[in-house]
Amino acid sequence: MSARPMSAPAVCSLTVAPGATAVTEVSTSRVHEASATVLLGRCRDRVRPALVEAVGHLHPWTGEMAAYALGWADATGKPDPGGSEGKGVRQTLAVLGAEAVGADGAVAVPGAVAVELVHTFSLLHDDIMDADGLRRQRPAVWKAYGTGPGVLAGDALLAQAVTILAEAPGHHTAAAVRHLCRTLNALVSGQAEDLRFEDRPWRGPGAVEPEQYRSMAEHKTGALLGCALALGAILGGAPDGTVTTLDRAGRHLGLAFQAVDDILGIWGDPRVTGKPVHADLRQGKKTFPVLIALAGGGEAAHELAVLLDSVERIDGETAEYAAELVEEAGGRTGTRREARRHLDAAHRTLREASLIHPAAQELDVLFTHLLDRTW
């Protein structure tokens, strides 16, 4: 691992050779889906007691908000069996990261708790910054409890995340804490980049370039997925080279995931995404499909640029027309290609790491499963 703690996170280095596109067809096999579901459940079960303990040691009020955010309780603090708990992707990656380097998954538990708490922290604070009132079909924490309490609950989760890792037994704790710290800086930078995109023009000088978008997505989404795998490997005693490779695989996974999210943000089925159709376009978000479309040149790209420049606020009809233009200008195809390239790169990077079976196979299954949505 490089030791550049205080420097701003490096610009995305996850270039993918142009030839490596459209290789993997995303599997939708039920076998894969079942395996991944079992796998996620197994890892969640393994991490759960420590996660419950970590949340239980928070101040009761921040603990209640944390339990709500994690989908364990409703906004009155009562257990909520219908609460939409996350899949636990990050905790699963941490456990598999350790197993894939030949260690017992148990050593990764403090890392798994840390990344899950950091993920929850970032959702809480990002929802405040983005004024996003809905999270997993329920009011976001700041909507349910108020902005101030939402800020506080996020702070509590972040502090507890670092604490749990810093107090982990074993010889690899310090390295794990340093890795988590670098990730926290990357996360915050990614969010800063994303928020700053809002003020930038759609085209011309100062417009967001696709490469800048990739950097933002790597920081905001990729870094924590990479960190989850890396923490498992670090706590499992893996050499630096393996840690770096796993981190890179997780980052590719994150970039693929973000690309798919961007596709769903425009063309996703509202019944599945829980968001209105063309949501990202209505919000004027500078997502990858739009940026790629604008960068493509051609008539549709030009028309799209004129349209986006001309309207103050994008209504439903304009959004529908904009979505057509993005598609016509190659934004959807280009983003699909981006997702496939990074998913392929993630699988390929895993193979570079000479991992131990069956965890190595399980990681492959999980990677495929995470992109296994209709896009």
Interface contacts to a copy of itself, rule CB under 8 A: 3, 5-8, 53-54, 57-59, 61-62, 125, 128-131, 147-149, 151-152, 154-156, 158-160, 162-164, 166-167, 173-174, 177-178, 181-182, 184-185, 187-189, 191-193, 195-196
Q: Are the C-beta atoms of 293 and 330 separated by less than 8 Å? A: yes
Q: How far is the CB of 111 from a copy of itself (least distance, A)?
A: 15
Q: How far is the CB of 219 from a copy of itself (least distance, A)?
A: 9
Tokens 């708990």 identify what position? 85
53 vs 324, beta carbon nearer a copy of itself: 53
Q: Are the C-beta atoms of 340 and 23 separated by less than 8 Å? A: yes
16 vs 159, beta carbon nearer a copy of itself: 159
**Could you say which DSSP state residue 13 is in?**
-
Report d(CA 71, CA 66) in Å as an integer: 9
185 vs 361, beta carbon nearer a copy of itself: 185
Q: How far is the CB of 194 from a copy of itself (least distance, A)?
A: 10
Q: How far is the CB of 64 from a copy of itself (least distance, A)?
A: 10
Q: Are the C-beta atoms of 234 and 111 separated by less than 8 Å? A: yes
Q: Which of 29, 115, 100 is nearest to 362 (CA)?
A: 100
171 vs 271, beta carbon nearer a copy of itself: 171
3 vs 17, beta carbon nearer a copy of itself: 3
Report d(CA 100, CA 321) in Å as an integer: 47
35 vs 163, beta carbon nearer a copy of itself: 163
Report d(CA 34, CA 4) in Å as an integer: 41
End-to-end CA distance of the chain: 35
> 3-state DSSP call for residue 135?
strand
Length of the chain: 375
Count CB atoms within 10 A of the CB of residue 130. Answer: 15
Q: How far is the CB of 151 from a copy of itself (least distance, A)?
A: 5
Q: How far is the CB of 310 from a copy of itself (least distance, A)?
A: 26
